[in-house]
Amino acid sequence: MSLITAYKALRKVKTIIVRPIYTPIARLFFYLNGATVARNLNVNGFLQMEVTRRGKLTIGESLHLNSGDYHNVIGRQQKCIFWVEGTLNIGNNVGMSSTAIICNHQISIGHNVTIGGNVVIYDTDFHVLDPQIRKDKSLDKQSAKKAPVCIGDNVFIGAHSTILKGVTIGQNAVIGACSVITKNIPANEIWAGNPAQFIRNIT
């Protein structure tokens, strides 16, 4: 057996051994954070998660997560990150890869949603524009604007996109890769760019 063949065989064996542990560990991690998770969770990789005492995380059936360096390798890999200080609801049959969701207020993700690699979803500005307020970290966080994010059923969000606070994305909408969503997207439309603009209707 050549060195190349041995290396590839070892890599395959590692995958076969390690992959079955990801989902049980993720389910335990969700449980310890007080999350409600329906059946058919499927996780590849380890997650990063914190649900605060006032946070609430609810996950529907058949959530599929690719998290970390070796899963859905399209570049800029990271763990899936869930920071929940508000209310985060994820519907049935949702898939995401290396996604960061920061929920300080309220985020809702519908059913049959596909979220591409390295997408980030924020329902807060994190900081205020006034430099005097930013000097006080506690006041800065308290004063930062927050608004709900709502992602409708059957939405597809392209890789490396950013979804900002106060945005509603209508059902069946498609968001092009690397887009920045700053305003509402109507149902059945394709938007892309920074900031995202209307491209065309879905035919």
**How many CB atoms are closer than 10 A to CB 173?**
24
- Indicate the SS3 state at residue 130: coil
Measured between alpha carbons, how far is 202 from 155 in angstroms, rounded to an integer?
12
Q: What are phi and psi of 76, to 5 degrees?
A: 60, 40
Measure Cα distances from 154 to 36, 74, 111, 174 in Å: 22, 22, 6, 9
Nearest residue to 78 via CA among 179, 174, 160, 162: 160
Query: Residue type for 103, please?
Result: C
Q: From the candidates 64, 105, 111, 127, which is the catalytic residue? A: 127
CA distance 77 to 85: 24
| Residues 88, 122 contacting (CB under 8 angstroms) | no
Q: Is 111 a catalytic residue?
A: no
**What are the residue numbers of the active site?**
127
